[in-house]
């Protein structure tokens, strides 16, 4: 599976660093906005020994059609920004190149664009691409089905400077039909990110906890998704649909 990566900020670099260390896929190129590091390669920049090319290009200097001609890929992974899809989306869809977007927020208009593209190719979108969080969300939803009277409270902890309530916590609240008031936000020191779903049963308590160690978890999640999209038909996918088949015996 040949991969093209859009975006080379902090998240993009972490994703590249995970992809370059696996042998299951090959990172063909990285496409970024700025000219920085152009004509260099991701393996060189990250100091990783690999046969994967991972060449760095700038959108200012190369058209996506040219890039896909000279270095074709099976899937494009997008860690850039909301408008990046307008740059590569149509060309990818025409060529049946799969699209995996980890952009945390899209306007309604751009979501419609994704849906439209999904008529021609596989389009996957997740605003939080880590496997652990998506696993927790789905099992918490199932718990709510099993025990509708359980009390759910969400506790999210992050470093002191983080201002707003965690977007992931909001997603969990939405999926569990909880009021956002049921989210308790802790801001202290250097905590990278911790989400806990407290499930208060009668006479017992279940706690579902996710702790982030580093940004590389995004790359690990993207890789999981990419491998799980291999045999999919064109259409629009979210994380839940990929996980669901595993929940059977």
By CB under 8 A, tell whether 152 contacts a second copy.
yes
C-alpha to C-alpha distance for 72 and 95, rounded to whole angstroms: 10
Q: Which of 34, 72, 83, 186 binds a second copy (CB under 8 A)?
A: 186
By CB under 8 A, tell whether 238 contacts a second copy.
no
Annotated catalytic residue 158: yes
By CB under 8 A, tell whether 13 contacts a second copy.
no
Q: Which of 44, 61, 83, 151 binds a second copy (CB under 8 A)?
A: 151
C-alpha to C-alpha distance for 56 and 35, rounded to whole angstroms: 9
| Nearer to a second copy among residue 10 and residue 96 (C-beta) | 10
C-alpha to C-alpha distance for 171 and 177, rounded to whole angstroms: 10
If one counts every other C-beta atom within 10 angstroms of the C-beta of residue 104, the result is 15
Question: What's the min distance (Å) between Cβ of 36 and a second copy?
Answer: 14
Phi and psi angles of residue 168, each rounded to the nearest 5 degrees, phi first: -65, -40
Contacts of 172 (CB under 8 A, 6+ apart): 136, 137, 140, 154, 178, 195, 197
By CB under 8 A, tell whether 181 contacts a second copy.
no
By CB under 8 A, tell whether 63 contacts a second copy.
no
Annotated catalytic residue 195: no
C-alpha to C-alpha distance for 208 and 48, rounded to whole angstroms: 35
Which stretches of the chain bind a second copy, using CB under 8 A? 18, 130-132, 135-136, 139, 141-143, 145-147, 150-153, 155, 157, 159-160, 184, 186-192, 198-217, 219-220, 224, 240, 243-244, 246-249
Positions marked catalytic: 158, 162
């Amino acid at each position: 599976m040949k991969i093209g990566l859009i975006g080379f900020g902090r998240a993009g670099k972490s994703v590249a660093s995970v992809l370059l260390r696996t042998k299951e896929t090959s990172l063909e190129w990285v496409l970024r906005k700025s000219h920085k590091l152009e004509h260099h390669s991701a393996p060189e920049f990250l100091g990783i020994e690999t046969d994967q090319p991972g060449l760095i290009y700038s959108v200012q200097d190369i058209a996506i059609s040219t890039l896909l001609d000279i270095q074709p890929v099976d899937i494009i992974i997008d860690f850039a920004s909301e408008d990046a899809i307008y740059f590569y989306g149509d060309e990818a869809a025409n060529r049946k190149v799969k699209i995996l977007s980890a952009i945390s927020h899209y306007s309604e208009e751009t979501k419609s664009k994704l849906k439209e593209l999904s008529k021609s190719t596989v389009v996957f979108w997740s605003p939080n691409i880590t496997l652990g969080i998506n696993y927790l969300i789905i099992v918490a939803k199932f718990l709510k089905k099993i025990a509708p009277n359980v009390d759910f409270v969400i506790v999210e902890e992050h470093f002191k400077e983080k201002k707003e309530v965690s977007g992931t916590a909001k997603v969990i609240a939405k999926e569990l039909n909880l009021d956002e008031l049921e989210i308790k936000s802790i801001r202290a020191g250097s905590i990278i990110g911790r989400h806990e779903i407290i499930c208060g049963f009668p006479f017992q308590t279940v706690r579902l906890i996710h702790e982030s160690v580093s940004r590389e978890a995004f790359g690990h999640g993207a890789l999981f998704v990419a491998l799980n999209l291999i045999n999919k038909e064109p259409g629009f996918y979210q994380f839940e649909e990929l996980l669901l088949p595993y929940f059977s015996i």
